[in-house]
Structure 1
């Protein structure tokens, strides 16, 4: 009985090597039992899920570092704009509408980025019953 094994996830060529080894090691050309193949595929899937979790964790850490650098730089730039606007001796002037827009978008951006990071770090599943 010759069976062709389809991989559950195409990216799992590394994890699928044990399946190929079982198929190649049988001298009669017979494949292992379906339970063996299912166990190997299940283990490969678990390995892929662990790898994805580790990759996601690394990406989240990178995102947190990026946001921790971006927010202070953004706030410093807005502070200098306000400071330059406050000096009457400089030929730099922003109208009140522009200052309101800058301050409100700054507030929304800072709070929004913080919420995005916190939701990513503390992913809570809410059951809607």
Structure 2
């Protein structure tokens, strides 16, 4: 997994903000790792449909189809890519319905802009 982040409130030991970007390197399988992470969020009374985004890549179209179906049925916002992670050649990219229903396209674009602004400001501080 890559970039799994949960910000905790030290006083209450409970999540106050969640930003996730999950990647299964080289294989999606049937999205078992992402589903397990969603179950952990559910156990912590956090709705993964609202607070989790998953991204997985698999070279096998059947495995990618299984991942897409499972995450769609479980209500997980995700990007499922059929392609080769070694050569970075991708044949198909699909997004689950929850990705669109919960506005993850805009939320992730806003997150990328925020990170770009943060990195820019850090660069200015280091140059000064």
**The TM-score by the shorter chain falls in which range?**
under 0.3
Select the structure that is richer in strand: 2
TM-score of the superposed pair, with normalisation by structure 2: 0.27
Structure 1 length-normalised TM: 0.27
Q: Select the structure of larger CA radius of gyration.
A: 1
User: Per residue, is there more helix in 1 or in 2?
Assistant: 1
